[in-house]
């Protein structure tokens, strides 16, 4: 009788072990979800704005005060816009018909990595002085970047606009300074100071040119909804968005 006891114990123990392992595999993702902390919140919402949590459908409508998590995809519909304030004080303002992916947002005392991916539309980024100085002092340890299919723009300043339409990205700086490069030409970096703008399409960014002052700009239009036929006028100032009022349109060389 004793010779069969080890086999009986094994028969009992094996299902228990399998059950325990399966339970651990199920509980790990649940604990990770519970441990996820917001990286920001919606401070302004106008019109129809939704978010895909973790980049996965279905999208849910958002309102002021709703949290923003890493990997979320934010979408603004026609005649809609949103503002997000992040946990470290950085702010983005998303225009209508925009789509931005909170690809990475990690903030620690000695290291931070904040990457947003703008697929379409226009976004304004506002970075507090303390964050810009931290990045300037330790650019390898800290970064805040907005990526588009045509350009990577990173903080060396505090306030700028990035606009992605068709196969071009336009970057205009109001305060401070940013660096810009094309993803396919990472060694061709252009620095854009306040009052200047640049554009990147299929190649490295153009050398910066003067940005017309806001009172001298006429809003021409905004990108159409996905699938809409037609497109707004394209200018070298702000493609499809802005045109100097009664002044020659500046061109990139």
Per residue in 183-194, pLDDT (tens digit) is 999 999 999 998
Q: 141, 142, 140, 97: which is closest to 118 by C-alpha?
A: 97
What are 203-225's pLDDT values in tens digits?
Answer: 999 999 988 754 333 333 344 44
Q: 74, 83, 141, 84: which is closest to 108 by C-alpha?
A: 141
Tell me if the domain spanning 39-244 has CATH number 2.60.120.1440.
yes
Q: Confidence class of residue 110 from pLDDT cuts 50, 70 and 90?
A: confident
Least confident of 1-15, 87-101, 168-182: 1-15
Q: 87, 93, 115, 103: which is closest to 49 by C-alpha?
A: 93
Contact 121, 133 (CB under 8 A): no
Contact 222, 240 (CB under 8 A): yes
Q: 118, 46, 34, 105: which is closest to 71 by C-alpha?
A: 105
pLDDT at residue 215, as a whole number: 37
| DSSP state for residue 136 in the 8-state scheme | H
Omega of the bond leading into 58 within 30 degrees of 0 (cis):
yes
User: Percentage of the chain with pLDDT > 70?
Assistant: 69
């Amino acid at each position: 009788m004793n010779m069969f006891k080890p086999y009986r114990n094994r028969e009992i123990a094996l299902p228990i072990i399998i059950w325990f392992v399966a339970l651990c595999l199920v509980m790990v993702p649940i604990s990770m979800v519970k441990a996820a902390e917001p990286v920001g919140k919606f401070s302004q919402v106008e019109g129809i704005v939704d978010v895909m949590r973790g980049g996965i459908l279905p999208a849910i409508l958002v309102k002021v005060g709703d949290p923003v998590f890493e990997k979320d995809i934010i979408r603004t519909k026609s005649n809609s816009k949103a503002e997000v304030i992040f946990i470290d004080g950085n702010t983005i303002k998303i225009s209508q018909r925009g789509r931005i992916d909170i690809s990475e947002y990690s903030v620690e005392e000695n290291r931070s990595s904040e990457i947003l991916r703008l697929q379409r539309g226009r976004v304004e980024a506002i970075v507090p002085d303390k964050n810009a100085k931290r990045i300037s002092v330790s650019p390898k340890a800290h970064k805040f970047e907005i990526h588009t299919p045509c350009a990577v723009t990173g903080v060396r300043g505090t306030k700028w606009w990035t606009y992605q339409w068709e196969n071009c990205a336009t970057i205009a700086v109001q305060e401070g300074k940013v660096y810009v490069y094309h993803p396919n030409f990472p060694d061709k970096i252009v620095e854009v100071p306040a009052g200047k703008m640049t554009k990147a399409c299929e190649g490295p960014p153009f050398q910066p040119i003067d940005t017309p002052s806001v009172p001298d700009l006429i809003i021409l239009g905004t990108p159409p909804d996905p699938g809409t036929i037609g497109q707004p006028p394209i200018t070298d100032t702000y493609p499809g968005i802005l045109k100097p009022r009664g002044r020659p349109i500046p061109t990139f060389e």
